[in-house]
């Protein structure tokens, strides 16, 4: 990842994607969802994929009870509904740390998919 000191807010597309990936009634997902409003982008992948690294002021929100990683994942499908890759959400020490996009083919996922492209 390429680091950034800009502290830019995470894009709305990332918020929607994280919310879709962290659905469910598990305590870890509820706690991580509460962190989203405090996230900022600290890095982007150098390969031009849509992966993002996050940072946040840990004094503003409690840590989630994370046991392992990834804390959420889903398959990403193309417009025809064919699987093309996936999305992974990671947390470090109970705090959201990154959203990783990957593909199974040669084409990278260069834009964050909409939640309707997750399965």
pLDDT digits (tens, 9 = 90+) for 26-83: 899 999 999 999 999 999 888 878 999 999 999 999 999 988 999 999 999 999 999 9
| Cβ–Cβ under 8 Å, residues 101 and 51 | yes
**Per-residue model confidence (pLDDT) at position 4:** 46
Q: How much of the chain, in percent, has pLDDT values that exceed 90?
A: 77
Average pLDDT taken over every residue of the chain: 91
Q: Cα–Cα distance between 16 and 37 in angstroms, integer?
A: 12
Smallest CA-to-CA distance from 53 within 91, 21, 86, 19 is with 91
| Cβ–Cβ under 8 Å, residues 76 and 85 | yes
Entry pTM: 0.90
**Per-residue model confidence (pLDDT) at position 6:** 54
Cα Rg of the chain (Å, integer): 14
Asked whether the predicted pLDDT for residue 2 surpasses 70, the reply is no
| Cβ–Cβ under 8 Å, residues 59 and 111 | no
**DSSP assignment, residue 21?**
H
């Amino acid at each position: 990842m390429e680091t950034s000191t800009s502290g830019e807010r995470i894009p709305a597309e990332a918020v929607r994607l994280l919310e879709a990936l962290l659905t469910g009634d598990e305590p870890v997902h509820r706690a991580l969802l509460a962190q989203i409003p405090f996230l900022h982008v600290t890095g982007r992948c150098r390969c031009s994929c849509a992966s993002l690294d996050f940072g946040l002021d840990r004094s503003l929100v409690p840590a989630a009870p994370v046991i392992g990683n990834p804390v959420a994942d889903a398959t990403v499908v193309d417009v025809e509904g064919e699987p093309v890759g996936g999305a992974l959400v990671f947390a470090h020490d109970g705090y959201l740390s990154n959203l990783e996009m990957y593909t199974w083919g040669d084409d990278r996922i260069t834009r964050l998919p909409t939640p309707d492209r997750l399965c």
